[in-house]
Amino acid sequence: MTLAQRLNAIPNHERFGIGVLSGTSVDGVDVGLTRLSGTGETTTIKLLAFQTFPIPKPIRERILKNCDKHTATLPEISELNVLVAELFADCILRFLKQHRPKRVDFIASHGQTLWHNPKRERIGKFRIGSTLQVGDGSVIAHRTRILTISNFRTAEFVFGKDGAPLAPYLDFLLFRHAQKNRVLLNLGGISNLTALKANAKKEDVIYFDAGAGNVLIDKAAQRLFQKPFDRDGKLAAQGKVNQSLLRRWLKEPFYRQKPPKSTGRELFTDAYFEQLLADASGISPTDFIATLTALTAQSLVMQLERFVLPNMTLDELIVSGGGANNKTLIEMLKAAFPKSRVLKQDDLTDNPIPAKAKEAVLFAVLGHEFLSGKSASMQTPALLGTLSFPPK
Ligand SMILES: Nc1ncnc2c1ncn2[C@@H]1O[C@H](COP(=O)(O)OP(=O)(O)O)[C@@H](O)[C@H]1O
Ligand SMILES: [Mg+2]
């Protein structure tokens, strides 16, 4: 078959697509199978199966080492581009063996972000910002023998945008409400939010990365308590928030920057964390983690007040991501918005998909839009994705 014939063979009406990713927390590979039809605002989305696969420790360590410019090396980045693709393909093959779907038309892979720098730098006559997701699409396509779409973020840079966050597209499709003003808050390693006023049109949506979700709390749990994260916020619950430290840390300029904006591990590095630790010398480990948790909450509150609430009242703050399980953090958000309903996405009566599957579904939807030739970019005409064919 020629390439044109192979393109023509891609189903047009209804597609079965797998979304796959590892987030900034590098805590697991999420794999979700979806059935998709329609495009744009009339897309229908059904999640058929979802699973998270653990990332073997040496691979996780290799990824984290190469997310930090002080420890990354070029040979390892090159190697990770293949290694992450092999890992994702292996997870997908195990997923297929277990769930035995009748049909899979495509894989949409986010890959693993190593570097995200939305700040433009002038080089010669060019002004360049960049983002790098490793996990080569052609390796995934060849290993699984399934058509693969990858590289969802880079095209937006051509239009002066950041390729992040991408979640607002799915939030807009799934969560906009006829009467309620909603904010969707995803507490991953980094937090991002999408503000949808009642009956919002695509151009009304306000969205941005808001800073650290779990990334600083995780570092504190690991460094001071030898725990991977603060399960249910129990450590923070034992401490007392230090208000003067909190005020100081809230001065971080990123929180004041106007949206849209994006960030990542390159801001919240080990060195950044070490500085916070140094600021807090003399306070107890539980007070430190409580204050970091308050920083996560208050930085969100401050940005909602500045960038969202002048535009709309807040009826519902709907929280997803692993951080939604941090009860101390959620209580702090509830206290800040006593007139709003602050709830976990899974507690919505009309919840369209389980919260843990949200990002896998997002990439499946983005892959589906790409194959339909439709832009899933919120503010630009960019066609998000790169296509890799399997071998014949
Ligand atoms: N029970 C829990 N209590 C508190 N935090 C949790 C809990 N479960 C998961 N997390 C946090 O969620 C993170 C993973 O969230 P996730 O949404 O997968 O983020 P990412 O998209 O960055 O991978 C973990 O690193 C941890 O910090
Ligand atoms: Mg994750």
* Helices 167-175 & 358-371 angle (0-180, nearest 10): 100
Of 112, 326, 353, the one to substitute when testing ligand 1's pocket (max ligand atoms within 8 A of C-beta) is 326
> How far, in Å, from the CA of 1 to the mean position of ligand 2?
38
Tell me: cis bond preceding 260? Omega within 30 of 0 counts.
yes
Which bound ligand lies closest to the C-alpha atom of 231? Answer: 1
DSSP alpha helix (H) spans, 166-263 = 167-175, 215-225, 234-237, 243-249
Six-digit token string for 13: 């009406």
Please report how many Cα atoms fall inside a 13 Å half-sphere around the Cα of residue 13, on the Cβ side: 0
Please, what are the domains in the chain? 3-163+357-388 (3.30.420.40), 167-339 (3.30.420.40)
Nearest alpha carbon, ligand 1 atom 9: 322
CA distance linking residue 36 with residue 169, whole number of Å: 15
CA distance linking residue 70 with residue 270, whole number of Å: 10
Q: Do 184 and 320 meet the contact criterion of CB atoms below 8 Å apart?
A: yes
Nearest alpha carbon, ligand 1 atom 11: 322
Cα dist from 163 to 15, 341, 374, 377, whole Å: 25, 30, 16, 8
pLDDT at res. 15: 98
CA distance linking residue 53 with residue 56, whole number of Å: 9
pLDDT at res. 345: 98
Residue type, 378: M
Per-residue pLDDT of the chain (392 residues; tens, 9 = 90+): 899 999 999 999 899 999 999 999 999 999 999 999 999 999 999 999 999 999 999 999 999 999 999 999 999 999 999 999 999 999 999 999 999 999 999 999 999 999 999 999 999 999 999 999 999 999 999 999 999 999 999 999 999 999 999 999 999 999 999 999 999 999 999 999 999 999 999 999 999 999 999 999 999 999 999 999 999 999 999 999 999 999 999 999 999 999 999 999 999 999 999 999 999 999 999 999 999 999 999 999 999 999 999 999 999 999 999 999 999 999 999 999 999 999 999 999 999 999 999 999 999 999 999 999 999 999 999 999 999 999 98
pLDDT at res. 392: 86
pLDDT at res. 343: 98
Of 325, 330, 331, 353, the one to substitute when testing ligand 1's pocket (max ligand atoms within 8 A of C-beta) is 325
pLDDT at res. 38: 97
pLDDT at res. 252: 98
CA distance linking residue 6 with residue 92, whole number of Å: 22
Nearest alpha carbon, ligand 1 atom 13: 322
323: Cα separation from own chain's centroid: 12
Please report how many Cα atoms fall inside a 13 Å half-sphere around the Cα of residue 119, on the Cβ side: 8
CA distance linking residue 30 with residue 53, whole number of Å: 6
Six-digit token string for 172: 């807009």
What phi and psi values does residue 323 have, to the nearest 5 degrees?
-65, -15
Nearest alpha carbon, ligand 1 atom 17: 321
